[in-house]
Amino acid sequence: MSRIITVQKARLLLDKYYEGFTSVEEEKLLYIFLSQKNLPEQFEADKAILSYFSSHKKKNKTRVVPLLRWTSIAASVTIGIILTCFLTFGTTNSYAYVDGKKITDIEQVKEQAFASILSWNNSNDNTNLDMDELIIQQLQLFVK
């Protein structure tokens, strides 16, 4: 189809457009015809009508609802992760059992460990053990 149309062809296409029978290609021809600089005055009203509809067709409608939905989901997940990390890392993980009692105070656990090492150093029956074996033995005592 030729891109240049005559006034008579434009009038026929406009009639066809108002009846709702134009194709997309024919509507493009009408838009090209009506957007020319030296448009005959008889088509000014049609240009205004078609310009109105074309501006509404081209508007990009931004939907806020899905954006808010995904933002709230992301915020909820982030808050959940932060709370989980905060609550998990805030608990005491160091403990020892001394005489059947669980000790969770880190300073007391350290004291018991050092006391145990010092008592081992002072005894003469395990003098053949090296330091690595000593550490392994001590760790086994504190793991339950």
Residue 106: its pLDDT value, please?
77
Residue 138: its pLDDT value, please?
75
Q: Which long-range contacts (CB under 8 A, 24 or more apart) does 42-47 make?
A: 43/10, 43/14, 46/14
Residue 124: its pLDDT value, please?
54
Residue 68: its pLDDT value, please?
76
Residue 111: its pLDDT value, please?
81
Residue 143: its pLDDT value, please?
64
- In this prediction the pTM is 0.36
Is-contact 13 5, C-beta < 8 A?
yes
pLDDT (tens digit, 0 to 9) for every residue of the chain, 144 residues total?
Answer: 556 788 888 888 888 988 888 888 888 888 888 888 888 888 888 888 877 555 545 555 566 667 778 888 888 999 988 888 777 775 556 677 777 888 878 788 778 777 777 776 665 555 555 677 777 777 777 665
Residue 60: its pLDDT value, please?
57
Instruction: Quote the tokens at residue 102.
Output: 């669980």
Domain boundaries, the chain: 7-58, 62-91, 96-142
Residue 57: its pLDDT value, please?
52
For residue 109, give every residue at least 6 positions away whose Cβ sits within 8 Å of its Cβ, in sequence order, or none.
Answer: 94, 95, 96, 103, 142
